[in-house]
Amino acid sequence: MTRGGPLSLPRETAAAARLAFPPNWWARAAWLAFAVYFVYAAAQLEFTPARFAAGLEHGAKFVSRLFPPDFHRWALLLKGMVESLQIAVVASALGVALSLPLSLMAARNLMPAWLTWPARLVMIFCRSFHPVIVAILFVKAVGFGALAGILALTVASVGFLGKLMTEAIEEISLKQVEAVRASGAPFMSVVMFAVVPQVFGRFVGFVAYETDANLRNSTMVGIVGAGGIGGTLFAAFQRFDYDFVCAIVLTIIALIMLGEVLTMRIKRIFRV
């Protein structure tokens, strides 16, 4: 910067080089900009201390009305939970069944570009909308009920599983594929003997993860009428039936934790 005197230059650079903590101006500017944005956004959304204070007051009343949970309508609760479970299981199964061929088609190390592109587009498309929005569209298409939820979560599963599976297939060792191919094996045999063994363990992990995710989401799609416990929960909220709400949410948490324990067990069995 100051290229004035030829003598002053070495001394200046030497001093600069000896700073133990050279300031990172870019990082500081980014932090400042973010702080400004934070204040601006909070103001835009009208977050005021008064609202928080009022909220705390409401919250205390609300929490007191949650307890004790009311399990009297357990039959309704059970029906909703079972439907959520069914939605999650069927959507996961369909999702896996569709993702397996699709991810194989999308793997750039095994397939030509004219096949990988469409497959990738399908996955990106499936991933781009939140499952609830997809559920809204399916509710319009196939009416209220579990089917809309199943289809919505299947779409989400294809987007997510497809991406993970494609990446796993693209990371396999091609040497093993080459060796099986050199023996004159037909394509499907190459896939079965050289590709599947390399990805099987990871796929089990992905499927377990996606089933967990579907279980969580299946408790939610009911809010837009796509079946499962979500509809019951939403109705209870609208009727200010907060002790029933509490019972439902506790059951959901228990089911999801149970699901997580199960998938962890399964992963251990398959040594994922």
Partner 1 sequence: MSGAPGLAIAREWQRFTPGERLARFVVYLGVVAAIVASIQTVEVIPEFIADAPEQIGDMLRRMWPIAWGFYPEGVQAPLLESLHIATLGTVAAVLMAVPVAFLAARNVTPHAGLNYFAKLILVSARSVNTLIWALFFVAVFGPGALAGTMAIAFHSIGFTGKLLSEALEESNRGTIEALQATGAPWLSVAIKGYWPQVKPAFWAIVLFRWDINVRESAVLGLVGAGGVGMALDTALNLFQWDRVAMILVAILGVVIAAEIVVTGIRRRIL
Partner 2 sequence: MSSLPAAAVEASRPDAAATAALSVRGLVKEYVPGRQVLAGITLDFAPRGMTAVIGPSGTGKSTLIRCINRLVEPTAGEIVFEGRDLARLGKRELRAARRHIGMVFQEYNLVERLTVMENVLCGRLGYVSPAKAWLRRFPARDVARAFELLDTVGLGAFAQARADSLSGGQRQRVGIARAVMQQPRLLLADEPTSSLDPKTSVEIMALMQALSETHGFPVIVNIHNVELARRFAGRIVGMTGGRVVYDGPPERLDETILKTIYGGEDWLE
Chain residues in the site for partner 1 (CB under 8 A): 37-38, 41-42, 44-47, 51, 54-55, 58-59, 62, 82-83, 85-87, 89-90, 93, 128-130, 132-133, 136-137, 140-143, 145-147, 150, 192, 196-197, 200, 216-217, 219-220, 223-224, 227, 230, 233-234, 237, 242, 245, 249, 252-253, 256-257, 260, 266, 269-270
Question: Applying CB under 8 A, does 180 fall inside the site for partner 2?
Answer: yes
- Which CB, 183 or 238, lies closer to partner 2? 183
- Residue 1 or residue 46: which is nearer to partner 1 going by CB? 46
Chain centroid to Cα 37, Å, comes to 27
Cβ nearer to partner 2, comparing 118 with 197: 197
Burial of 71 (0-12, 13-18, 19+ CB in 10 A): middle
Task: Identify the sign of the CA torsion 258, 259, 264, 265.
Answer: positive
175 burial via Cβ count (<10 Å: 0-12, 13-18, 19+): exposed
Contacted entry of partner 1, partner 2, none for residue 110, CB cut-off 5 to 8 Å set by kind: none
CB of 173: closest distance to partner 2 in angstroms? Answer: 8
CA distance 123 to 160: 8
Q: Which residues neighbour 136 within 8 Å (Cβ) at sequence distance 6 or greater?
A: 224, 226
In the chain, which ranges are continuous DSSP H helix? Answer: 8-17, 25-44, 49-66, 74-106, 113-128, 131-142, 146-170, 174-182, 187-190, 196-218, 229-238, 242-269
* Closest approach of partner 2 to the CB of residue 118, in Å: 21
Selected from 89, 147, 185, 249, the binder of partner 2 by CB under 8 A is 185
Which region among 24-32, 161-169, 191-199, 212-220 touches partner 2 (by CB under 8 A)? 191-199
